[in-house]
Amino acid sequence: MSAVYLPAFFVSLIDLLEDYYKFDAIPDTGHIQVHKTTVKISYPLATAYFLSFLLRIRKQVPAVKMAPSKGRSHDERFMGDASIDDLLTPEQIFTSLLFEQRSSKVIQDMRKTQNIYPVFEKRCAVLQCNSDCIEMDIAAVDTILTNSILYSKMGELICFQYLSKLSSNSDLTPQLEDYFLRGDGRNPFSQTAKEFVIEYQENRCFYCGQVLDNKNTDKKPRADHFIPWVFIKSSNIENLVYACNNCNSNKSNRLPTTSIFNNLLQRNVPKSKFWRKYPEEITKLDERIDRWIRNYYQASEQLSTGWKPDFIA
């Protein structure tokens, strides 16, 4: 197993658990079973999340190398206990994951590495790969969910360090940085949505109202996930506002106050001026807005709330 796949797998597992616990988004088809002391996750479900995590990176930063190619040298520091599997290309790993015969082997290899993630002690097996499912201790699941933002960030940081080391082309580093550290690239807003929103806001920051300016670091326009990405994990236009760099970085993973939320809700209610002007057709808008409102309140139970800008221009 290449070193990058461990943290990548772990981050995808956190996504999976969060989705399950937050949204009940995974239909009960037996892919995830919660028992008194353990949580059992099927390989197809874990694999789907793992693949989607890897493919999102590939889609955003196509030139990135995910693993050393056969016979090439690689940086020893990032390759703890290397085996022949380290020399698979991402395509080979995807293919082997897609075709059942090796899928459990790839994940089961993680079994050998008890220390699947540095935050856990060596003797603590966070998960066990059984013949038919991944089994996790419910206490470990609780710990992971309580600290999910921290663990995800750490996992992403490890992926970032590894991948930028592996991809010697230094032009890629800023792209990887955007992807992993700023979170912009993981699931970007559509270009149409971005252009429309910035114009709708008359090129002003949604939060503090100052005029956005590409040439000024503090005032640089940033596409902002109103409900932070760490919670919402999607980039729909109803959750997009433009903010100045200052507000965007200051807000970070916090949730804006209810009164700021109400401002955005006014923009977002179906049949508003905003939607009448928007050039693309959006299906099931009512449902989407309802879900977005629910997400805001769900997020307020998980994230730090009450964020507002330092000053209003």
| Residues near Zn ion (CB under 5 A) | 205, 207-208, 244, 247
Give whichever of 240 and 247 is closer to Zn ion, judged by the CB atom.
247
Q: Can you tell me the distance from the alpha carbon of 55 to that of 52, in angstroms, rounded to the nearest whole number?
A: 5
Give whichever of 13 and 205 is closer to Zn ion, judged by the CB atom.
205
Quote the least distance from Cβ 188 to Zn ion, whole Å. 21
Quote the least distance from Cβ 309 to Zn ion, whole Å. 5
Quote the least distance from Cβ 249 to Zn ion, whole Å. 10
Q: What are phi and psi of 288, to 5 degrees?
A: -65, -40
Q: What are phi and psi of 40, to 5 degrees?
A: -110, 130
Give whichever of 107 and 260 is closer to Zn ion, judged by the CB atom.
260
| Under 8 Å between Cβ of 14 and 152 | yes
Give whichever of 16 and 247 is closer to Zn ion, judged by the CB atom.
247
Tokens (6 digits) for 133: 């499912």
Q: Can you tell me the distance from the alpha carbon of 312 to that of 169, in angstroms, rounded to the nearest whole number?
A: 42
Give whichever of 53 and 307 is closer to Zn ion, judged by the CB atom.
307
Quote the least distance from Cβ 208 to Zn ion, whole Å. 3
| Sequence-separated (6 or more) residues with CB below 8 Å from residue 208 | 243, 244, 246, 247, 309, 310, 311, 312, 313
Quote the least distance from Cβ 242 to Zn ion, whole Å. 9
Give whichever of 164 and 245 is closer to Zn ion, judged by the CB atom.
245
| Under 8 Å between Cβ of 93 and 67 | yes
Written as one letter, the residue type at 124 is C
Give whichever of 180 and 206 is closer to Zn ion, judged by the CB atom.
206
Quote the least distance from Cβ 217 to Zn ion, whole Å. 13
3-state secondary structure of 71: coil
Cα-trace Rg, the chain: 21
Query: Distance of alpha carbon 166 from its chain centroid, rounded?
Result: 21
Q: Can you tell me the distance from the alpha carbon of 103 to that of 112, in angstroms, rounded to the nearest whole number?
A: 16
Quote the least distance from Cβ 132 to Zn ion, whole Å. 51
Residues comprising the chain, all counted: 313
